[in-house]
Every structure is written in C-alpha cells, then in structure tokens.
Amino acid sequence: MKAHERLDKYNAIWSSVLAYHDLTPKTKSDEEVSQWNVKKMKEMGRYLLGVVTQYLRLGGSPAQRPILNGAIECTRALLEFNMYARYKSHDDATLSYMEDAVCRFRTFKGVSFLGQAGRMVKAKANALRTELVQKRKVDEKLNAETWTPSKKQHKMNAWQDYISHGIDVSKESDADFNVLKIDLMSHWVEQIRRYGAFQ
C-alpha cells in the first residue's frame, strides 16, 4: 500500500466499515492498532477481504492492475487458510482445501516482497542500482556526440525503466517474509495428519 501510495485510501475504507450485528465500530485505522487479540482477529477476518478488494479496485494504473489483483488473491488465500485452520476437526476434503490455500498464497505472495525486503536485500538492490547507473553513464558518454536531444531523452527513459525493473526483480528474487508464522502454514496440514486436530 505504501509502495503504491494508497495507504490513506485503505485506511478510509477500513474506518468506514459499520458496526453491524456483532462487529464493533472502528475507532482506529488498521495501522493504528498496536495489538490484535483473538476476538479482533476473528472479527477482522469477516470483512478484511471486502475492504482489501474495494480498496484495490479503486483506481490504479493498468501497470498496477496485475499486482493489485495478486494482492486480492493473496489476501483471499490467507483468510481461507485461517478459516480452515480454526476447524475443530478435519477430513481429507478440508485438509486439501488448506493445502490449496497455502499453494495459492505461495503463488501470489510476491506482491508483498518489495515491502518485506530486509536490510541485506535493500543493500544488494542499492549496489545493483549504483552499478546500473555507472553503466548508463558510460553508455551516455560513449554516444553523447551521436545522439540527438530526442534520442538522448528516449535512451535516458529506457535506462530509467531498465534500472527500475532491475531493482524490482532483485528485491523480489532475494526478499522473503522471514516470519515464522508464515512458514508454519506449510507444515500445518502435515502436522494435523500426523497428530490430529486439537480441540
């Protein structure tokens, strides 16, 4: 959300969720909540996908559309996994649904990698940026006399796109969540099959 400068819109939609039945009214934005207890987490799971879908479908450039749709699918997969994980008993069908949710989460989790890049990943990406900028300067120096002003502008735009894409690819390929709870998802079904569901 921060990467696409849309956090304010998300918070506005989040805060507009009305109190209904046993949903409590929102007094804080999502990012202002310092600690989530079990009750709040269960309640949030009931409307989070709607909020995320509404927020991501409002605006966004055509280039952002695949990323935003991926974020919706990633959220849906996480919420489905959470819903099945709370079952008191399981059979082969529910376990296969959980595995499917984990599989879909893995497919779409890349939408969050740029925001999750740690210091080492960012340092590597910055080193790559420096290297690519140096290459651009060498290219510019070698061709300065032969380029017309419009060709120079075209080349600079092409270099800028190339550098930005290179940085994004570097962060995406090297970044990871490094969060224990996310890794536990991949072992959940195996553990239930081995030890049974806890009640």
Residue range 137-195, pLDDT digits in tens: 888 888 888 888 888 888 888 888 888 777 766 665 555 555 556 777 888 888 888 88
For position 94, what pLDDT does the model report?
A: 92
For position 128, what pLDDT does the model report?
A: 81
For position 101, what pLDDT does the model report?
A: 93
Tell me, what DSSP letter sits at residue 111? G
For position 48, what pLDDT does the model report?
A: 85
For position 27, what pLDDT does the model report?
A: 72
| Token pair recorded at residue 114 | 């740029």
For position 112, what pLDDT does the model report?
A: 62
| Token pair recorded at residue 185 | 């998802």
For position 24, what pLDDT does the model report?
A: 75
For position 132, what pLDDT does the model report?
A: 84
| pTM of the shown model | 0.61
Host H or E run for residue 121: helix 119-143
For position 165, what pLDDT does the model report?
A: 73
90-96 contact pairs (CB < 8 A, 24+)? 90/192, 90/197, 95/189, 95/192, 95/193
Rounded CA gap, 85 and 43, in Å? 15
Angle at 88 between CA 87 and CA 92, to 5 degrees: 70
Residue ranges of the chain whose pLDDT lies below 50: 114-115
Angle at 182 between CA 197 and CA 72, to 5 degrees: 105
What dihedral do alpha carbons 72, 74, 80, 82 form, nearest 10°?
-120
